[in-house]
Homo-oligomer: A and B are copies of this chain.
Amino acid sequence: MAKETLISISERTGYSISTVSRALSGKGKKYRISDKAVEIIKAEAKKCNFTPSLVAQSLRTNKTRTIGLLVPAIDNPFFANIASVIITTARSQGYTVIIVDTLEMELDEQEGIKSLLSRNVDGILVASSGQTPDYLEQVNETSIPIVLIDRFFPNTSLPYVTTDNYKGAFEATSHLIEYGHSRIACIQGAPFLLPVKERTKGYLDALKAHGLGKNASIVGSNFSIQNGYLETKLALSQTVPPTAIFALSNTILLGAIKAINESALKIPRDISIVSFDDNIYLDYLNPPITRATQPVDEIGSLAIKILLQSIQSGQRIDTKIQLPSRLIFGNSVSRI
């Protein structure tokens, strides 16, 4: 079956291209195409299994029904889960999703945006690895709507959907304190990221609220497993090591666990641990990990909804949403 087009159908049915186009796009009434013509055309289209070229449609209508999704690492379960709900939600509305894995690199992100722009995507969702949102805001203002997920920026005009990182971290830290911990090491991701800043602030404020401000210890530089591993190694080798670790992501957590496993220490007997993020595996770890969870599904589906609304209305929407974090209790924290 050679590629079918409006033209080929037009030739075979004897109707003009425009009539075929209108008949097939359901605009028969609007343009007064006779029922008989519509029927003939639709029958022929079905017979030869015609599907219109989205490329040509896009060129003509300037809409691609495609949205771009930029994430720092698609193999991180957190982003994989978000991608999952975004893809299926988008699909249910007739949109497909192009995924760009930015590898936590701002440059790759910028290049990715450019690539998406040249592809004329209708909108962009981004969990940014960047330090400033300038280039994102430029895009948003003049051409294509952008919605931030998870990672956001201070004083940005861009809409975002994220977690209440501050409160989540505050609660997680408070939990440790209530269990008697006073030396809690906090291992962070890239410090310039706002969610990270909020988490460390929550950590700090919780300490201060209990008069432990001077015990604060925030270390680490990125969201890699390696970072979690090395910082934990370091922390454990101190003369007075911490009694608890607060890992600011599931990746950092894994590194921390690895370092602890390599030591003589046992969780939670010798050292307690609390993490940020959630995923199904954390319940099966040894022991199950107490963690401040992010509402992944809600983040994804809210973000895509806002984006689609912005696309369809043609207006920029200024929705900034922080969804509540929830503490899930495992067995990784002991009383002191």
Q: A84–B99 Cα gap in the complex (Å)? A: 10
Are B52 and A55 closer than 8 Å at their CB atoms? no
A287 cross-chain contacts in B, Cβ below 8 A: 286
Would you call A93 an interface residue if the criterion is a C-beta within 8 Å of the partner chain's C-beta atoms?
no
Interface string of A196-231 (1 = CB under 8 A from B): 000000000000000000000000000001000000
Would you call A96 an interface residue if the criterion is a C-beta within 8 Å of the partner chain's C-beta atoms?
yes
Copies of the polypeptide in the assembly: 2
Q: A285–B119 Cα gap in the complex (Å)? A: 43
- Given the known interface contacts A55-B59, A74-B84, A87-B74, the answer about A98 and B101 at a Cβ–Cβ threshold of 8 Å is no
Give the distance to chain B from A71, nearest Cβ to Cβ, in Å: 10
Q: A84–B102 Cα gap in the complex (Å)? A: 10
Would you call A88 an interface residue if the criterion is a C-beta within 8 Å of the partner chain's C-beta atoms?
yes
- Given the known interface contacts A75-B77, A143-B3, A284-B254, the answer about A119 and B55 at a Cβ–Cβ threshold of 8 Å is yes
Which of B1, B81, B258, B284 is in CB contact (< 8 Å) with A285? Answer: B284
Give the distance to chain B from A108, nearest Cβ to Cβ, in Å: 8
Which of B52, B53, B54, B100 is in CB contact (< 8 Å) with A96? Answer: B100
Chain A residues within 8 Å of B, Cβ to Cβ: 1, 3, 51-56, 58-59, 64, 66, 73-75, 77, 80-81, 83-84, 87-88, 91, 96-101, 103, 114-120, 142-143, 225, 254, 257-258, 280-281, 284-287
A to B CB contacts below 8 Å, 17 in the list: A1-B142, A51-B114, A55-B119, A56-B59, A59-B59, A73-B84, A74-B74, A74-B87, A75-B77, A75-B83, A77-B80, A80-B80, A96-B115, A97-B98, A254-B281, A281-B281, A281-B284
